[in-house]
Homo-oligomer: A and B are copies of this chain.
C-alpha cells in the first residue's frame, strides 16, 4: 500500500469522493476522529475550494477539492460516496488512476446478479468490477473483505434487516417469506431539500412508502439471505416508513414459521453474535431502539418470540449513517488496511 505524504507518521491516509452528501460528511467526521487514518482529501464538483462547514456546520473544517485535482494513488483508501448510477464509473476511474483500495458506498456494486442489478437500478456498470467487489458486511464476509481491493458497502436498510435475520437464514430456519417493517430517520432521504424532507412535512408524522417489493434494498437483503442460506431463495415483503428523527433505522422483522421454541431463538442468536464486536444482543424483555445505536457503529438486536403463533419478531436498530453507511465503511477500511476492526468507531 502507498503511504500518503499528508498522513502523520504511522497513519494511513484516506480520500473521500463526494464529501458533501449526508454519508460523505459523516465519513469525514469519523476519519477526523480516527486514531490511525487521516483525511488527505474530500472532493466536491460543485463546492470545490469551499469549506465543508458551509454544507454542515457540525462537520470538520475541511477544504473541498475538485475530484480532478486529487491523486487517488497517494492515499491508502478511497471512499466513494456518489449516487448510484454515477458511482461505479468513478470507482473504475479511481482504480485506473492507482487507488490501492476502495470502499464504494453506493448501490452500484452490491448486487452480484447483473439482471437483478439492471432491474433494480436500471444503470450500466462494469460487470468485471462488480465481480471483483466484495459485499462489505463484516459479520458475513470478514476475511474476504480483509483481502479485497474493492468493497461494496451495504445499504442502510439492508444492514439492519440482514443482521436481524442472518442467524435464521444460516440455521435453515427462515421461512420462504419474511415481512420487514422498517423505520428510517430523515437523513436516510439525503440532503436534497424536497417536499418530503421539509420539516413541516416530516415532523409529527409517520408514513410508509414503497411498500412491497419495490424498494431497492429488497433484492440486496434477499441476496444476503440467500448466500447465508446455501442459496435457498427467501422473499422479503418490505414496508419502509419515514420517522421524524434525524438518524437511525429500526427493522422490525416478522418471521412466521421458523419452528423455534422459546430457547431456540435465544441460543441461535447468542451463538451467532457472541464474537461480533458491533452486534449487541439484548436480554429477554429488552427492546432494540434507535437511541441505543445512534451516533455509533452498533447494531442492537432484540428477540420477541410469540410461540403460540410460531412467530418470531426480531428488531434491529442501527444508525443509518453509522453501521448503515459511514461507520460500516470505516469498519471495512479497517479490515482492508490491517487495522484493528473497531478502531475509530464507537459502540463495541
Which residues of A are interface residues toward B (Cβ below 8 A)? Answer: 22, 33, 35, 53, 56-58, 177, 179, 181, 183, 185-187, 191, 193-195, 197-209, 211-213, 235, 237, 239, 241, 243-248, 250, 252, 254, 256, 287-296, 300, 302, 304-306, 308-309, 311, 313, 315, 317, 346
Q: In the complex, what residues of B have CB within 8 A of residue A203's CB?
A: 186, 199, 203, 244-246
B237 touches A254 (CB 8 A): yes
Option from B208, B244, B304 in Cβ contact (under 8 Å) with A243? B244
A200 touches B191 (CB 8 A): yes
Q: Told that A204-B245, A205-B290, A243-B244 touch, could you supply 20 new A-B pairs with CB distance under 8 A?
A: A33-B33, A57-B292, A58-B292, A58-B294, A177-B311, A179-B254, A179-B311, A193-B197, A199-B203, A201-B291, A204-B291, A206-B290, A208-B250, A208-B252, A208-B289, A212-B304, A212-B311, A235-B309, A237-B309, A239-B304
A205 touches B254 (CB 8 A): no
Give Cα A202–Cα B291 distance, bound, in whole angstroms.
9
Give chain B nearest CB distance to A157 CB in angstroms. Answer: 14
Option from B56, B58, B287 in Cβ contact (under 8 Å) with A207? B287
B308 touches A207 (CB 8 A): no
Give Cα A11–Cα B157 distance, bound, in whole angstroms.
39
Q: In the complex, what residues of B have CB within 8 A of residue A187's CB?
A: 200
A181 touches B254 (CB 8 A): yes
Instruction: Give how many copies assemble into the complex.
Output: 4
- Contact sample, A vs B, 11 pairs, CB 8 Å cutoff: A33-B33, A33-B346, A179-B256, A183-B241, A205-B248, A207-B291, A207-B317, A208-B252, A208-B287, A209-B287, A295-B295
Q: Which residue of B lies closest to A313 (CB)?
A: B211
A287 in contact with B211 given A57-B292, A206-B248, A254-B254 (CB within 8 Å): yes
Q: In the complex, what residues of B have CB within 8 A of residue A237's CB?
A: 254, 306, 309, 311, 313
Q: Which residue of B lies closest to A308 (CB)?
A: B213
Option from B194, B243, B256 in Cβ contact (under 8 Å) with A256? B256
Give Cα A223–Cα B300 distance, bound, in whole angstroms.
35
Give Cα A243–Cα B184 distance, bound, in whole angstroms.
11
Q: In the complex, what residues of B have CB within 8 A of residue A346's CB?
A: 33
Give Cα A305–Cα B207 distance, bound, in whole angstroms.
17
Q: Which residue of B lies closest to A311 (CB)?
A: B237
Q: Which residue of B lies closest to A287 (CB)?
A: B208
Give chain B nearest CB distance to A202 CB in angstroms. Answer: 4
